[in-house]
Amino acid sequence: MKVEKSTGARNKQRLTSRRVLKAAWVFIPLILAAAMYFLLPMFPEFTEYAVSRGLFKAFTVPVGFVTSLIPLSLTEICAVLAVPAVIALVVIFAVRMKRSSSRKRTALKAGRFLAGFLSFAAFIYMTAHGANYYRLSLESLMELDASPKPAEFLLAVCKELAAHAAQEREYLSEDENGCVQFTEDIYTELSRTGSGYEALVEEYPFLWTSIGRQKPVQLSYYWSYTGITGMYFPFLAECNVNIEQPDLSIPFTASHESAHSRGIAFENECNFLAYLSCINSEYPEFRYSGYMNAFKFCSNSLYAYDKDMWREAYECTTDGMRRDFTAENEYIDSFKGEVQTASTAVNDGFIKAQGVSDGTRSYGRVTDLILAHYYKALTEGT
C-alpha cells in the first residue's frame, strides 16, 4: 500500500509540474524582453552589432518587405478594428463562462491566452524597435562632434539653411494661398522618400532596409487631433504618415518614420536623418522640406538663446517661406485640445520609459546634430 501511495503521489507531482510548465512557457518571451530592457543598455556595442544590425534586421526586413507590398495602412486598419475586436473577445469570453462546466478552468485558459499575447508582443516590440534605444549613438556612428557650439555659429547655420530653403522653393508650385503644393498624388510623393537615403546608405550601410513604402493614413483629419504627424508601427514594420498636415511637412515626416524603419529609435536622431536624407533627395520638395524643418529647429534654439539673433536669422526667410510656416502653425493650432494634450502626455511618458529623460523635448535636440554636421563639413574642408 505504501508503494502504491508513493507512486500515485509521484504521478500527481509530475502532472502538476507539467501543468506549471505548460502555463509558464508563455512568459518566456516576456522574460527575454525584460532581459533586453535591463541588460542591453550596459552593452551598446553588443546591441549595435548583434541586435540592431542582426536581430532587428532579421525581423523587419522580411516583415517590412511584405507589408510594403500593400498600399493601404495596415496599422490604420488594425486601429479601426481594435475596438470591435476587443468587444467581440469580451462577449465570447462572457458566453463561454456562462456555458462552461468549470468557470475556473475557462478563466485560466483566457488568462493564459492574454498573458501569452502580451508576453509575445513585448518581445516583438523590443526586437523590432525598443532595443534600438540602446545601440551606439549616431554621434558615434557618424563621427560627429555634438558638443555645444557658439551662438554665432548657430546663427550662421540658420542663415545658410534659410538661403538653401529659399533657393529650393523656386522649383515648387503654390496653391491658391501661396503655400507650397505637391504636383503629384500623395502615393507618388511618399514613394520618393527613399531617394535621399540612397546616398546615405552608401556611406553608412547600417541604414539599409528593404522597407520602401510610406503609408498615407486615410483618417488623417481625425488623427490630427492627437498632434501626431507620423508613426512607425514596429509590429508590422510599417511607416505611417499623416497627410492632413501641410505639404511642406510631409516629406520630412515620411523621412523621419523611414529612419525608425532603419533601426534608429531616438527622435532627435530620426529628425537628423530626415534632414540629411531630404537635402540629398533628387526631388526639390524633399530638399525644401529638409531645409525648412532644420531651420525651424535651429532657429527655435537660437530664439531661446538670443531673440535679436533670431530676428536676424528670420529676416533671411522669404515671404513664401513665411506663408508656409504660417500654414503649418495654423494647422497645429486648429487641432489643439484635450485629446492632443492627453496624446502628448502619453507619448512623453512612453519616450521617457525608454530612458530618454527629456521625453518629447528630445525632438528638438536635433539642433546639436545639425550643427555637428556643419562643423564636420567645415573642419574637413568639404
Q: What is the 3-class SS of 33-102, one letter each residue? A: HHHHHHHHHHCHHHHHHHHHHHHHHHHHHHHHHHHHCCCCCHHHHHHHHHHHHHHHHHHHHHHHHHHCCC
User: E strands within the chain?
Assistant: 173-174, 180-181, 214-217, 230-233, 238-242
What's the gap between Cα 235 and its chain centre? 12
Question: 156 with 302: CB under 8 angstroms?
Answer: no
CB 116 within 8 A of CB 22: no
In angstroms, the CA 154 to CA 305 distance is 10
In one letter, which amino acid is 286?
A: F
Strand, coil or helix: 9: helix
pLDDT at 103: 79
What is the distance between the alpha carbons of residues 251 and 359, in angstroms, rounded to a whole number? 24
Rounded to an integer, what distance in angstroms lies between the CA atom of residue 74 and that of residue 211? 14
pLDDT attached to residue 95: 82
User: pLDDT value at position 92?
Assistant: 87
CA 63 to chain centre: 16
pLDDT at residue 286, rounded to an integer: 98
DSSP label at 233?
E
Report the alpha-carbon distance of residue 27 to residue 241 in Å, rounded.
34
pLDDT for residue 341? 81
**What is the phi-psi region of residue 143: left when phi exceeds 0, alpha when psi lies from -120 to 50, beta otherwise?**
left
**CA torsion sign, 367 to 204 to 357 to 145?**
negative
CB 288 within 8 A of CB 180: yes
198-201 contacts, C-beta under 8 A, 24 or more apart: 199/280, 200/273, 200/276, 200/277, 200/280
Q: What is the pTM of this model?
A: 0.90
So what's the pLDDT on residue 360?
47
How far is it, in rounded angstroms, from Cα 175 to Cα 168?
17
Q: In the prediction, which pLDDT does 362 show? A: 44
CA pair distance 363, 325, nearest whole angstrom = 18
Residue 267: what are its φ and ψ, rounded to 5°?
A: -65, -40
| Blockwise average pLDDT, block size 10, the chain, 382 residues | 54 55 78 96 97 96 95 95 91 82 81 89 97 96 92 95 98 97 96 95 94 93 95 97 97 98 96 98 98 96 92 97 97 89 69 61 76 91 60
Domain spans of the chain?
2-74+102-134, 140-379
Report the distance separating Cα 334 and Cα 169, nearest Å: 25
